[in-house]
Amino acid sequence: MAQIKRSHTLKETDIKSLIQKGEISSELELERASLAARFLRLQSENQPELALLEERLSTLIRDYELKHWSDFKQVTEKQVAESDLAEKRAEKEFKFYKKRRELISKTLKQNGLNQNDLAAILAHNKSYISELLNGIRTFSMNDLIIIHRLFGIKLEDLVFTEITVETEKRIKEALEKTVSNSSKTKKPAQVTSLVKALYS
């Protein structure tokens, strides 16, 4: 149960949490960590304090790759397919979160505010806000709701709403089971339209 909670909190790449966890446990986490490490490497040119985080993250990446990818004879087609899906998913997430950070920073400037002001508004300290805006930590849902309400930024620009392939599969199976157990209150056509909505 604890593992489920932990991976849920890492949905949005929280670099510090991943480092504290001490290991990468899936292809998706590997891809997220790889993108985060590249991002940190670029950011550390202007913020040298980020170099240590990048180094620790790179160690976790190497450890995972040694364990799961070093013996090519052991690599399965399923593992390669999972890696490909994870890479696409992580890139999509990374682009979304980068765009969100840029939007929040731009909105602050447009309103004559800075990181210190946002820190006071969200009740965080300045270094924590800096980590949020640099992608080191994740915004809480409460932070995003405050930003949405205060600045009028649409929630769909603040909250990544795509669901994982595993979740899609689970929902589809549940809906298909509902169709097969159809009762008077559940019409197959209604359930079929829900399945279509899932993939639109």
Pair 86, 10: CB distance under 8 Å: no
pLDDT in tens, 145-177: 999 999 999 999 999 988 887 888 888 888 878
Residue 107's alpha-carbon distances to 54, 155, 186, in angstroms, are 28, 14, 46
Query: Which overall architecture, per CATH, does domain 2-157 show?
Result: Orthogonal Bundle (1.10)
Return the sign of the alpha-carbon dihedral for residues 120, 127, 134, 68. negative
Pair 16, 33: CB distance under 8 Å: no
Look up the pTM and report it: 0.78
| Strand ranges, E, within the chain | none
Buried b (16+ CB within 10 A) or exposed e, 142-179: ebbebbbeebebeeeebeeeeeeeeeeeeeeeebeebb
pLDDT in tens, 32-41: 999 999 989 9
Domain ranges of the chain: 2-157, 165-198
Return the sign of the alpha-carbon dihedral for residues 154, 117, 8, 65. positive
